[in-house]
Amino acid sequence: VTEVPRGPTSRRAPLTRDRVLRAAVALADRDGLASLSMRRLAQELGVEAMSLYHHVANKDALLAGVVDVVVGEINDEVARVDAPAPEDDWRGALRARILTARTVLLRHRWLPRVLEDASSFSLPVARYFDGVLGTLRAGGFSYDLAHHAMHALGSRALGFTQELFEPDDADVGEEQALALLAAAADQLPHLVGMMAEITHDDEGDGLGWCDDQTEFEFGLDLLLDGLERRRAGA
């Protein structure tokens, strides 16, 4: 048998944990979380599914690794951003941290789902929260109040909120919601009233008038204001 010269395709870069995780992030970004299966990921890397198990213990470990990659991205970005010194303005400092985290999460909208599942208290995640805690401490919080604050912020500390009604296709969801309101208007007087006022006000014709970023910041500021009041001992 003669040796077949290996083409550039067969001389592929060796698989590494890092290459696996980055490919996983890219695949989820492109095709959604549902497409992130061991088999699809392997295919993406031009490899057999079982090869992945040499670099990642199992699918849970893959997801945990993926979380670390993205939270690492957040940590890098947070370190780079210039924010008020927390000693002078803890609120501004924390707000900047959180809104920075949010910009990264908006590039990986599937991450919240993954974060909830995987037992994801890893070093990168811990480092992010250590930074939040440090900001609060510099702003004069006791450990006890800072602890409550972290719970109160919850996922908001990482830049996202539980989106309760977010169907895959926003337009379809909106249509369904409007149909429901119309069909059961008598049972939903306040929702109907709200919709009536809002569609009248600004010609928005549905739920599309909710600006995620505005609502996120409204809720965040509500919490930060309340925390400052508690800190100041009101």
Partner DNA sequence: ACCTGAACACCGTTCAAGT
- Report the largest interatomic distance among the alpha carbons of the chain, rounded to a whole angstrom: 85
Q: Which candidate, 78, 70, 73, places its Cα nearest to that of 94?
A: 78
Rounded to whole angstroms, the Cα distance separating 200 from 184 reads 20
Considering only residues 125-184, where is the footprint of its own copies by CB under 8 A? 126-127, 129-130, 133-134, 137, 143-144, 146-148, 151-155, 158, 161-168, 172-173, 176-177, 180-181, 184
Establish how many alpha carbons lie within 13 A of residue 89's alpha carbon, considering only the half-sphere containing its beta carbon.
9
The CA distance from 110 to 35, in Å, is 11
Rounded to a whole number of angstroms, the minimum distance from the CB of residue 23 to its own copies is 25
Q: Which entry of DNA, its own copies, none binds 186, CB below 5 to 8 A by partner kind?
A: none
Is 188 one of the binding residues for its own copies (CB under 8 A)? yes
29, 33, 44, 59: residue in contact with DNA (rule CB under 7 A): 59
Contact 38, 56 (CB under 8 A): no
| Tokens, residue 154 | 């919850």
Helix, strand, coil percent values for the chain (each to nearest 5) = 70, 0, 30
Minimum distance from residue 61 beta carbon to DNA (Å): 8
Residue 225 touches which member of its own copies, DNA, none, C-beta under 5-8 Å by kind: its own copies
- Binding to DNA by CB under 7 A, coded x per residue (else -) over 19-58, reads ----------------xxxxxx------xxxxx-xxx--x
Report how far residue 145's alpha carbon sits from residue 227's, in angstroms, rounded to the nearest whole number: 8
Answer yes or no whether residue 199 interacts with its own copies by CB under 8 A: no
| Site residues for DNA per CB under 7 A | 14-15, 35-40, 47-51, 53-55, 58-60
